[in-house]
Structure 1
Amino acid sequence: MHLPVQPTVAPMLAKRVDDIPSGDTWIFEPKWDGFRTIVFRDGDDLMLQSRDQKPLDRYFPELFEPLKAQLPSRCVLDGEIVIAASKGLDFDALQLRIHPAASRIKMLSQEIPASIVFFDLLALDDQDMTGEPFERRRTELESLLKKAKAPIHMTPATRDVATARDWFQRFEGAGLDGVMAKSLDGIYAPNKRTMLKVKHERDCDCVVAGFRWHKDAENEAIGSLLLGLYDTSGALQHVGVCASFTQKKRRELVDFLAPYRRDALKNHPWRSWAEAEGDNQRMPGGQSRWSQGKDLSWEPLRPELVVEVAYEHMQGTRFRHMAQFRRWRTDKPPEDCTYEQLEVVAPHELASIFATGR
């Protein structure tokens, strides 16, 4: 490829803020929950690059022909690959696409095809656009994609704070996890947190049913707590982990958790997971193609402790991202930690969001 912006490029990043900023110097967009992707095209050469600057080409073959048909012959665009189900984005289905078997990728690309949503322009023809203000990049992108058809989309955008606040509430039901704020005159700064993101955060009381040692201090510091919620049948389901601790707190937790380790496996609800190597269930200590050889072994705790955590949103029956420690809930019995406490977000049709972007 011979482009003014050559692969690979570290994507521009965002820093988290508590609220949508006010004023007339921002462009707001929904925050998509998919695989960040930079697309490079130089004639017949096309490359899909991931956030960590690795190729995504083989995993999404169904996007190649639409991209070649609809993008300019020489360009670099920033966006997000998503899979849109009937009621929202399906991140679980998206993860299934990262598979070593080409036959399975081909099958999934036909059964659950992906889409790509663009939100920035890095290069066009012989022009490097990264030094141009975002307002101009956005205008140029709108011109390029004004006739785009599925699976190619352009993200909606607004300068109205009230509209952005409305999106923050309504679009969550479609699987989007917040709102982005981009400065009108901001340049494209690779690997710099120059954008702002506002994400949802909620509270939840969970049972602490196990832990993992810190990777650099086994038997000396706690790495993460394994969290559970009871379902309607009374089974304790693993919903995620909490790991937001200082080094001092990690060492203090060793002594704090020690009493709950005694005879923990005797009647533990996850005992079968602890004893069954290679179990196909999604268990706390299970290895997967996502773990990349990391040690995910875990230590059981008697499920008697309750912790309040902050989480962003659910992905099926689990937290989409790592939960944040808030406080211990010594006043709450573990059996009260059920899915019923979680806020249910009404689904929002993705079709209306995609249509808004054109």
Structure 2
Amino acid sequence: MRHASVWRSGYRAQLAVYRGGRVLLRSRQGTDMTGSFPEIRSTALAQLPADTGLDGELVVWEAGRLAFERLQQRLARRGKGASQAAGQWPAHYVAFDLLHQGESDLTGWPYRQRRAALEALFAERGLAGPLTLCPSTTDPAVAEQWLQWTAAGLEGLCFKRLDEPYRPVRSWRKYKIRVTTQAIVGAVTGSLAAARTVQLYRSDVL
């Protein structure tokens, strides 16, 4: 059985809080992004217990929809510039997996257990923005409703097997939403007064 979760337009990132107050936010390629998102660092330090490792996605909202270009702009900023950008385009960390908790390595657990532990972490610790729990369901009807969220920048859905352990490489499937418009396209050669050929055809435009 598969578990569906929302797929957004953002940066995949792992968020870890270590003993001693160290926080690391890194990309899938291992790039340290902690300095670019000080609000995520401070929130993680304040809300998450030590020795916690999450997998999720960084997103930025602007005017009611996801703004990937703002996220790109933020990644290039550090220090004072990063703090200013955090006030102008605040980021959110959408968690969809729990990899480490206390002294326990959860990566060998099936996803259903990791998801239950992640939900319990949010509930017991009262985690709040900019930390967000990714919506997730096993109900096909609910997943179908989520596909209507394209106006907010939703790109599609991810599907994970409930019995699968965590894998460093992507092992889940993605269903990407494609919005098309059918149009009649015409082409004219020569001048409009003395056209030599006219071609008309239908096309689906993404």
Matched, 1:79 2:56: yes
Question: Partners in 2 of 1:86 and 1:203 — Cα distance?
Answer: 23
> How many residues in Structure 1 have an aligned counterpart in Structure 2?
192
Native 8 Å contact 2:182 2:205 kept in 1: no
Native 8 Å contact 1:30 1:171 kept in 2: no
Q: Shift of the alpha carbon at 1:132?
A: 0.2
Matched, 1:183 2:156: no
Q: What's 1:27 paired with? A: 3
Q: What's 2:174 paired with? A: 197
Which protein is richer in strand relative to its size? 2
Q: What's 2:122 paired with? A: 145
Q: What's 2:191 paired with? A: none
Question: Partners in 1 of 2:76 and 2:51 — Cα distance?
Answer: 30
Paired AA for residue 117 in structure 2: E
TM-score between both structures, scaled by the size of structure 2: 0.84
Matched, 1:118 2:65: no
% identical equivalent positions: 30
Q: What's 1:49 paired with? A: 26
Secondary structure at the counterpart of residue 148 of structure 1: coil
CA deviations on 1:164-195 (whole Å, 9 max, x unpaired) are 11111x2211111001111110110111x421
Native 8 Å contact 2:36 2:78 kept in 1: no
Question: Partners in 2 of 1:101 and 1:163 — Cα distance?
Answer: 40
Q: Match for 1:136 among 89, 113, 122?
A: 113
Paired AA for residue 59 in structure 1: S
Gap regions ≥5 residues in structure 1:
1-24, 207-302, 305-329, 344-358
CA deviations on 1:192-224 (whole Å, 9 max, x unpaired) are x42111001245799xxxxxxxxxxxxxxxxxx
Distance verdict in 2 for CA 1:127–1:199, change over 3 Å: same
Paired AA for residue 82 in structure 1: V
Paired AA for residue 78 in structure 1: D
CA deviations on 1:104-131 (whole Å, 9 max, x unpaired) are 3221111111111000011111111001
Question: Partners in 2 of 1:342 and 1:141 — Cα distance?
Answer: 40
Q: Shift of the alpha carbon at 1:92?
A: 1.1
Correspondences of 1:286-301 after superposition (within 5 Å): none
More RCO (CA 8 Å, sep 6+): 2
Question: Partners in 2 of 1:56 and 1:332 — Cα distance?
Answer: 50
Question: Partners in 1 of 2:36 and 2:77 — Cα distance?
Answer: 9
Paired AA for residue 183 in structure 1: R
Native 8 Å contact 1:32 1:176 kept in 2: yes
Paired AA for residue 79 in structure 2: A
Q: What's 2:42 paired with? A: 65
Q: Match for 2:146 among 142, 153, 167?
A: 167
Question: Partners in 2 of 1:199 and 1:71 — Cα distance?
Answer: 32
Q: Match for 2:135 among 131, 148, 156?
A: 156
